[in-house]
Amino acid sequence: MAGFAVNLEYLFKHKDEVTMPYKAGYEEDKFLKSLKLRLEDVEPKARNCTEILVYHTQTKKTKSPDINFSPIHQLSSPSTSNIGHLFRFMESAGISHFTSSKG
């Protein structure tokens, strides 16, 4: 995880290009790349522009959890909820895996 700030004027000016795609472990990287920043777009602000302060923590790789999705947990009417879409997104993004035998 990294800490940074993005100027809202810049963000609104490029709103059609900027995305927040999700890929486990690459959240900030994908967002920052979508900004397509040039060196002249970057403004160091720390301590009267004399330092660039950054913190970065390494995301620990862990096995995605298994979620038990047996018929008991299924919704009777998919049109009343977006839970099915959410589950499919979570699995495609590598956030979790679905099983009917464990979890």
Spatial CA neighbour of 23 closest among 66, 69, 59: 59
Task: Tell me, yes or no, if 28 is annotated catalytic.
Answer: yes
Residues 9, 17, 27, 28: which is the catalytic one?
Answer: 28
Residue 60 CA to residue 1 CA, distance in Å, equals 10
| 67 backbone dihedrals φ, ψ, rounded to 5° | -115, 125
Per DSSP, the three-state class of 9 is helix
**Any idea which residues carry the catalytic annotation?**
28
